[in-house]
Amino acid sequence: MTTIISGTNRKGSNSLKLSEYYQRQLTERGFDSEILSLCDLPDDLISSDLYGKRSQTFQIIQERITSSSKFIFVIPEYNGSFPGVLKTFIDACTFPDSFFGKKAALVGLSSGKYGNVRGIDHFTGICHYINMHVLPLRIHIPNISKEFDENGNLFKEDTVQFTRQQIERFIEF
């Protein structure tokens, strides 16, 4: 199973829109996936699910993560890096069962002009530390609000081309 992780808990985020786009593209290629939005994390995650504790709400999420063999992380830029909630989520997941030895593709996005280059580099370091295999083709999409059409699809030729290439390599990965 592949899980696409929308890397923020911001409601109505472009990360979720981009995650949905990736899921549609995978489905068109006959590849099953599901989306985990960090909006679905328990509100009391910090007090209920870190350091070996487990709430019933997070246990369901943990089971989804453990059963996944591949991940696509869609990560917005927050303060020159990635959202703290994404790191907290990684920390709350069981180690090593959650991510150890599994595969990941990384997609950065930003409202500015760099597409979260720095945040994707930071997150790559974390992936390596928890022994994930990261697809070398990492995508960075700047000015994300100008990338979607009215149906939530990417439409700029170069962005469509690069995401298509990443998706195809991810399926083979």
* Averaged pLDDT for residues 13-19: 97
Residue 53 has pLDDT above 80, yes or no: no
Average pLDDT, the chain: 95
pLDDT at 54: 83
Q: What is the pLDDT of residues 33-45, one digit of tens each?
A: 999 999 999 998 8
Q: What is the pLDDT of residues 111-138, one digit of tens each?
A: 999 999 999 999 999 999 999 999 999 9
pLDDT at 52: 72
Residue 51 has pLDDT above 80, yes or no: no
Domain map of the chain by residue range?
A: 2-172
Residue 143 has pLDDT above 80, yes or no: yes
Return the residue matching tokens 């999420």.
61
State the DSSP code for 54. Answer: -
pTM score over 0.85: yes
CATH code of domain 2-172: 3.40.50.360
Binning the chain into helix, strand and coil, the percentages to the nearest 5 are: 45, 20, 40
Euclidean distance between CA atoms 109 and 148, whole angstroms: 12
Q: 59 falls in which pLDDT band (50, 70, 90)?
A: very high
